[in-house]
Chains A and B, each alone.
Chain A
């Protein structure tokens, strides 16, 4: 059924999260609502289901057929029956104590539907014996399919999918999106992943800072010619094609409480002129699409900074690992995480360690950090054996390795100032106070942060800035090796390339060996010199980024590359 949203506004007190947004979902259409964190896309989606907190107020209109959804108080008989949700995080979102069949039957009963559990399971492409399983026995992709089946049980007219593929690997993401597409139900997908959705969406709406930036058919949007922010998002998604380049949008999205004057994107926009800082642009239709930009359709092309490639050859090997096996034992099972790995990384070189969850890449990273000892094999760090080092000598070795954690939000002490956080390793090592300050400043500038941030708390920084603080913290002890574990995965798309750029300059300027752990083969192709692909504890592919991206030797790598198509 058709959904028509007009001038929808969502307020939390004085903050306007969604500002006069209009969009349409046609009969049987799949519409992608795309934007980064804080752009208002989730507030909009939740307002369609009445799932906003009580402090929120909704004005404007959202008509599903002849039913007004905006500002509605009574949702009985609508949720699940008229509008179905495919929620975010199906990995943990199913009832853990009931069998799948029982959960499906519950939905059918509640919504007095004529659906049949077995037919629903068939429709989402799962084997029938899933009906008698519990959620923890299924993989992430299977669970997301079950979540879709639960939604279909109420035979809704409209599906609202909130980041339905977050947390799934690239190959499974494609499968889930293809499944949603094949259902033939009007669907609004909310996501941060523009390029991932383009092949599946009919229509794309891009939001920025609470406003609609651009809207149009997917094919038009994909052509890189529209709104500067959309172009930025497209270049900021790393492609598996090394020739494409990987860009980033400088700066960060403005906080809702402090929006810039004029066009909200102007402070970050490469083609902004005076008019952009003074006047807010209206949606300007050009052909089938329309964009909120003063220069929409003018043919001006925004140029974003690209992640630089390595120019120097790798120096002496800094870290060596040979014949590494690692076995995790628990009370009930033994898991062989690594089954014979040979790995090295040289000075000034960035090596990408690529694999899905469970491939063993994190285990290998932890071994290189000296956090765990491998069950078998030898690890050397600048010529010294990490495996036999104990106590003081082990700690001395560990100090030569820097670590950038995946989560910039939880990994920094919220009660310490940036200056204190970065100086801490030096304090622990007993460095004198004068030298300390100098080294902190040097580390901050290497990480691309200005000294003004020294007195700030992590909570006052953007995600990208926090991750740079992590990098500075890793650099301050003058390490020889830097391990970045999924260092970009929790950041907004537009800022990821910036972090990769910083890692590259650190490798080149300081001659640091960098291990870049990622599940995104595109990121590795774009930012690393060499790539090592892990699968089930074995290396299945190893080569220079150019070779791996153009002619993968292993079918698994080819599949990964294909999944990050764009």
Chain B
């Protein structure tokens, strides 16, 4: 690059078109999904135990003859060779027919469809609160790192991040539910009557649990990203050119610092969208996480595969979304050039 005129802006020389770029990324995600689908099929079958052992009551099972067992197995497809089960599974995935739950005979799709809205409500609420609090406290902690306030925030975040969800959940139940008796401790409604106020009341404790335990991680991530940007050359140079501190933070620090936070947040949403197994179980919340827990406990293969599938697809989807939205925030990813 010797000549001033040499590299003109917007030059896309040597770059392939954006269509082929997206096609390439699409192919990568398809590959990830294929691997995930295969694991999804294989892993439940690698678990010790099997559905027959938990089917009905054990004494009755013991009295069954070998023929009778074989008959039951073939009815549910267990008798078929693995590859045949795999093909059936794949066909089911693409036709959204995920089979029937072994535990209660419901179609898996229906079980998931019932649980999904509850999970989205719980996770959506807590993600929004966690993100707002975690990121803004992280920014504050980064800017005040030399003062007592910043140190206190950091210590608090580390403490929050180390709290186990189940423990906090149980503490909250004991305190607000049993001792004070001001908040409901399980389910989403009282006696099956669904009202907006009732649902909101039931949401409080699980949301608090998820938020409190999730905030520390986001805080620390935001804080360290901010610190890196604060000492970066562009910020030092802007300071030397006389940009006042408030403007420096708003314009030169925040945006580059929040770029990696954006990616992390997207991935978090992906994971949580499949439900928080611990929190939903502790609060007997009828979401996907609890469904997954029950399915694993009962060795309910079709249901397990179904909930795992939702988890996989969500994570891959949010990954793709993070990839696609990143260029909107960072011009370097948008307009090419490596330097």
Contacts and interface: CB of A to CB of B under 8 A. Distances in A.
A24 to B, nearest CB: 23
Contact of B15 (A75, A133, A150, A332): A332
B233 A171 contact: no
Query: Does more than half of chain B's interface fall in helix, strand or loop, or is it mixed?
Result: loop
Contacts of B297: none
B337 A136 contact: yes
Contacts of B241: 79-80, 84-85, 107, 150-151, 154
Interface string B81-103: 00000000000000000000000
B244 A95 contact: no
B14 A333 contact: yes
Contacts of A110: 242-244, 247
Nearest to A331: B24
Contact of B337 (A84, A94, A106, A137): A137
Interface residues of A, number: 58
A51 B7 contact: no
A97 B256 contact: yes
Interface stretch (B211-219, B263-271, B277-285, B328-336): B328-336
A49 B2 contact: no
B337 A79 contact: no
Interface stretch (A138-146, A432-440, A468-476, A537-545): A138-146
A288 to B, nearest CB: 33
B4 A93 contact: no
A141 B24 contact: no
A125 B4 contact: yes
Interface string A113-150: 00000000000011101101110111111100101001
Contact of B240 (A49, A127, A145, A333): A49
B15 A134 contact: no
A111 interface: yes
B62 interface: no
A309 B338 CA distance: 41
B2 A76 contact: no
Nearest to B332: A136
29 contacts: A77-B242, A79-B242, A81-B242, A85-B240, A85-B241, A87-B233, A87-B240, A89-B233, A90-B237, A92-B233, A92-B234, A93-B236, A94-B234, A96-B332, A97-B332, A98-B251, A106-B247, A107-B241, A129-B10, A137-B7, A137-B10, A140-B1, A154-B242, A171-B2, A172-B2, A175-B4, A331-B21, A334-B14, A335-B14
Nearest to A560: B2
Q: Which of A79, A97, A126 has the most CB of B within 10 A?
A: A97
Nearest to A78: B242
A184 interface: no
Nearest to B245: A76
Q: Which of A94, A137, A140 has the most CB of B within 10 A?
A: A137
A93 B233 contact: yes
A229 B113 CA distance: 81
Contacts of B244: 76, 110
B53 interface: no
3 closest A-B pairs by beta carbon, nearest first, are A80-B242, A139-B1, A133-B9
Given A106-B251, A110-B243, A136-B337, A129 B8 contact: yes
Contact of A145 (B4, B332, B338): B4
Nearest to A140: B1
Interface of A: 49, 51, 75-81, 84-85, 87, 89-99, 106-107, 110-111, 125-127, 129-130, 132-134, 136-142, 145, 147, 150-151, 154, 169, 171-172, 175, 331-335, 356, 358
Contact of B339 (A98, A136, A332): A136
Given A175-B4, A332-B15, A94 B335 contact: no
A138 B9 contact: yes
A77 B244 CA distance: 9
Given A97-B330, A142-B1, 10 more contacts: A79-B242, A84-B241, A87-B236, A87-B237, A95-B256, A106-B247, A106-B251, A172-B1, A332-B336, A358-B1
Interface in B18-47: 21, 24
Interface string B120-137: 000000000000000000
Contacts of B21: 331-332
Interface in B228-272: 232-234, 236-244, 247, 251-252, 255-256
Nearest to A83: B242
Interface string B39-81: 0000000000000000000000000000000000000000000
B147 interface: no
A134 B331 CA distance: 7
Q: Which of B2, B247, B255, B332 has the most CB of A within 10 A?
A: B2
A333 B7 contact: no
A95 to B, nearest CB: 5
B6 interface: yes
Nearest to A334: B14
A180 to B, nearest CB: 15
B8 A139 contact: no
B251 to A, nearest CB: 7
A91 B14 CA distance: 22
Q: Which of A87, A145, A356 has the most CB of B within 10 A?
A: A87
Contacts of B16: 332-333
A95 B240 contact: no
Given A133-B9, A137-B10, A137-B335, A95 B2 contact: no
Q: Which of A76, A96, A99 has the most CB of B within 10 A?
A: A96
Contact of A127 (B5, B14, B232, B329): B5
Contacts of B7: 137-139, 142
Contacts of B252: 95
A332 B338 CA distance: 10
A96 B256 contact: yes
Contacts of A358: 1
A51 B240 contact: yes
A95 B238 contact: yes
B243 A137 contact: no
Nearest to B234: A95
Contacts of B337: 134, 136-137
Q: Which of B7, B21, B237, B243 has the most CB of A within 10 A?
A: B237
Contacts of B238: 95
